[in-house]
Amino acid sequence: MAEAAMSVRGGALLGPLLAILLALLLYGLSGRGSVVWQAQRQQQEAAQMTAQQQADRQLTQRWLAVRAAPQDSAAWAALAQRYLERNEYREALRAYDRALQLRGENAELLAARATAHYYAAGQRMTPPAQADVTAASRLDAQEVSALML
């Protein structure tokens, strides 16, 4: 009788156990496990990188985006922003110039370029910076970056 009870309990456990194993197998075959594993690995790598290495990696990613879509003004603006954050003002100005060539006059880009001019001049308002602030304000009187300069 005890053997019969154990056999019934064992059979009752076998069904859920097989269901769990089948679910794990299907999950593994779906590729989602690989995506999760890659994301975790990237997070671990990022945590081990120094701030400079992370900044360099982000700059490289922005450059790759520009190379992939050289006519994308947003990619150029993102590259310019990264240069600005790295205090590489000449490069930032070149990238903002290209973004403006592609997009045309845009208050946000003009204000961002004014900021690059301002910092390139040692935090002084120069004629090019003032011209960009004026143009940005003319296009959008509420452009925050222009108002802050």
Q: Which residues contact 21 (CB under 8 A, 6 or more apart)?
A: none
Residue 107 has pLDDT above 90, yes or no: yes
Class for the domain spanning 51-149:
mainly alpha
Q: What pLDDT score was predicted for residue 55?
A: 84
In this predicted model, what pLDDT tens digit does every residue of 49-86 receive, in sequence order? Answer: 787 888 888 999 999 999 999 999 999 999 999 999 99
If pLDDT is split at 50, 70 and 90, which confidence band does 137 have? very high
Whole-Å CA distances, 125 to 14, 59, 85, 122, 147: 76, 27, 19, 9, 13
CB contact at 8 A, 47 and 66: no
Q: Tell me the residue type at 13.
A: L
CB contact at 8 A, 118 and 125: yes
